[in-house]
Copies of this chain bind each other. A is one copy, B any other.
């Protein structure tokens, strides 16, 4: 196995008015401003309804990348879990992954719904979502289902 370091360069960045927890509101729209040199790489994207957005969690400090276990959403009543078993931002390689709905595409600007990333977040990649990405009834831990239920009721 190669041990060489992997170097990435952002292909654009996120533009949003949402601050703090507002970014978690899935009904919100935000924008991805793709660097103009990559505008052509968006050709054909409006034939899809949904995208994967990979982004760099640039607020995570180097020290935090060493975290191995967390309580989901920081809730100490939920079981301490490995970072690969939770969608926490604290991970060895802090890459965010979110599925978003395409609202509009105009030149190098994508307007999307559901991206939980802060203003100025560097975007690493954009990939189309297709029917192979749909899992029927994925199994999740019981704490996940409890958390979703509570959220719906609050």
- Seen from chain A, the residues whose Cβ lies within 8 Å of a Cβ on chain B are 1-3, 5-11, 13, 34, 38, 40-45, 47-50, 52, 54, 56, 58, 68-69, 79-87, 91-93, 95, 97, 99, 120, 122, 124-136, 138-142, 144, 148
Contacts and interface: CB of A to CB of B under 8 A. Distances in A.
A135 B129 contact: yes
Given A40-B82, A41-B84, A83-B41, A49 B7 contact: no
A40 B11 contact: no
A68 B44 contact: no
A99 B133 contact: yes
A contact face: mostly helix, strand, loop, or mixed: mixed
B128 A140 contact: yes
Q: Copy number of this protein in the oligomer?
A: 2
28 contacts: A1-B122, A5-B7, A5-B8, A6-B9, A6-B56, A8-B95, A40-B68, A41-B69, A41-B92, A42-B84, A43-B81, A44-B85, A47-B85, A48-B140, A49-B135, A50-B135, A50-B138, A84-B127, A84-B128, A85-B128, A91-B125, A93-B124, A93-B125, A97-B127, A130-B138, A130-B140, A130-B144, A133-B135
